[in-house]
A and B are shown apart, each in its own frame.
Chain A
Amino acid sequence: MIEVRNIKKSFNSNIILNDVSAALDTGMCNLIIGASGSGKTVFMKCLVGLFQPDNGQILYDGKEFLTMGPDERKEIRKQIGMLFQGSALFDSLTVEKNVMFPLNMFTNDTTAEKLKRVNEVLERVNLVGANKKFPAELSGGMKKRVGIARAIVLNPRYLFCDEPNSGLDPQTSLVIDRLIHEITKEYNITTVVNTHDMNSVMEIGDHIIYMHKGLKEWEGTKKEIIFSKNDLLNEFIFASEFLKDAKDMRMLEATGKIDNDRNMEDIINNDAPLS
């Protein structure tokens, strides 16, 4: 579990995070959502120690991360896996070598043992046979899967994903979302996902934090988001007519009524999805 207490971060006089607190639970996909510039990437970079917050505390299973010495921090970082927005694969290394890199750096396993582990995780992310390919030869979705494989190869306790669906088609996005969700449950890890993809929110959002202008504006589950009365959140999540319809259909399905004055015939005629 990761606990964040009152963190603040500003660049020059520009306040990016203002007194944000949150509890990110183990075995759950914790989603940080918000518009571009809302502070979610800075929030994630503070969590993993790439940025030093001006104030506040970050606790990894009760251990204060920000005041740790370099060696202790290194130990925590070995338990962190991260999937970057652009995958951040090492260009000059093959898929196999990319995934093997953390094993080479931090274990004394034999080459055969390392290779076995690499093949296990590549199989887990459905990338069998891609071992000898270079990142430049892979599609966006494959790169993300290699990124996930590299992130989980050391069996991390915490997984961070920065916009895992950016630049992917909806079908591939769904595959990546489900993979992250399955891995979270399978390994019982604390997963934090930064996204502004609403499909991800509804697909894997066990715990959702909505950020707006550096503040935590709302917190809840994917079920609660449907019934939320928070205007800012509703404007952000249900921005299009299609999504508004989807929300109303879900409310209708759950409660038998909707809480606005929209015309039900229009909603039904739009063929909004029921699930």
Chain B
Amino acid sequence: MNFFTEFGRYLLLLKGMFSRPENGKMYWKEFMHQCSEIGIGSLGIVVIISFFMGAVSALQTAYQLTSPVLPKSTIAQIVRDTVILEFAPTLVCIVLAGVVGSKIASELGNMRVSEQIDALEIMGINTKTYLVLPKILAALMMIPLLIVISMGLGIWGGRVAGVTTGILSPNHYDRGLLENFVPYNVFFALVKGYTFSFIISSIPAFYGYHVQGGALEIGRASTKAVVVSCVAILFADYLLASLLLQ
């Protein structure tokens, strides 16, 4: 199957999602369930990686800033900007592409293979709307929130690492955080967050929804979904940076 056929089927899946729900209450329930699965389910890993990426970037920045002319507070500025601009949105989303993406692809793939999707279709339910749309909406709602949490934790991780290793004092760090702060960077990070959330949820949903075969194919679809999502995230990252950081 060539790229254009696959992309066309992906667009058709997205188009097929927009139909009137059979029962709003059931769809709301499914949406809330997905919010919990995607948001709460990924919180642990996001907390861990965010804290450590902030801590490591503080230590590595300090290691590279050897000039006595530069004030210590520069470390905090660099940690803040790298966490907000790149680490929190991109790194976290690449990890979430693995965690959330593989879960979505394997869940839908298993439902397809065990004829659960067919059973829903027979009942007269639009499976694209009922199964795919709540996942995408939940990802769009929860992943940017996780990114904001990740920003805070990353910056805090840098502070903890910097202070406990004696590289800089808490005052230096806090002052550095407030120096030359550009609020637009947060906006840029959130734009990236929403874009990546869509990629993380829709691409695995596409691969999972169209699985054919058995357990082996579910695994393959899951792996392919994660790989394609990661590549799409990196590509979108470059595109957004070139468009929005002029």
Contact = CB atoms under 8 A, between A and B. Distances in A.
Interface string A75-116: 111101010111011110000000001101110000000000
Interface in B8-22: 19, 22
B26 A104 contact: yes
A27 B246 CA distance: 72
A225 interface: no
A107 to B, nearest CB: 9
Interface string B111-133: 00011101101111100000000
B114 A104 contact: no
Interface in A51-88: 70, 73-78, 80, 82, 84-86, 88
Contact of A50 (B19, B121, B124, B125): B121
A49 B119 CA distance: 12
Q: Which of A82, A88, A101, A106 has the most CB of B within 10 A?
A: A88
B26 A105 contact: yes
Contacts of B2: none
B116 A90 contact: yes
Given A104-B23, A105-B23, A105-B26, A88 B115 contact: yes
Contacts of B121: 49-50, 77
Q: Give the 9 A-B CB pairs with smallest separation, nearest first.
A: A77-B124, A88-B115, A88-B119, A74-B124, A82-B122, A84-B115, A78-B124, A105-B23, A88-B116
Given A104-B26, A105-B22, A88 B114 contact: yes
B23 A106 contact: yes
A208 interface: no
Given A82-B122, A84-B118, A88-B116, 15 more contacts: A50-B121, A77-B122, A77-B124, A78-B124, A84-B119, A85-B115, A86-B115, A88-B118, A90-B116, A91-B110, A91-B116, A102-B123, A104-B23, A105-B123, A106-B123
Interface residues on chain A, size class = 20 to 34
A273 to B, nearest CB: 35
Contacts of B110: 91
Interface in B79-113: 110
A176 interface: no
25 contacts: A48-B122, A50-B121, A50-B122, A77-B121, A77-B122, A77-B123, A78-B123, A80-B123, A80-B124, A82-B119, A84-B115, A84-B118, A85-B115, A88-B114, A88-B115, A88-B116, A88-B118, A91-B110, A91-B114, A91-B116, A102-B123, A105-B23, A106-B23, A106-B123, A160-B122
Contacts of A105: 22-23, 26, 123, 125
B23 A80 contact: no
A150 B122 CA distance: 12
Contacts of A48: 122
Interface string B32-72: 00000000000000000000000000000000000000000
A48 B123 CA distance: 10
Contacts of A77: 121-124
Contacts of A73: 124
B243 to A, nearest CB: 38
A49 B115 CA distance: 14
Given A88-B114, A90-B116, A80 B26 contact: no
Interface string A16-52: 0000000000000000000000000000000011100
Contacts of A78: 123-124
B122 A80 contact: yes
A134 to B, nearest CB: 14
B23 A86 contact: no
A189 to B, nearest CB: 15
Contacts of A49: 121
A77 B122 CA distance: 6
A21 to B, nearest CB: 23
A74 B19 CA distance: 12
A196 B56 CA distance: 64
Interface in A112-164: 160
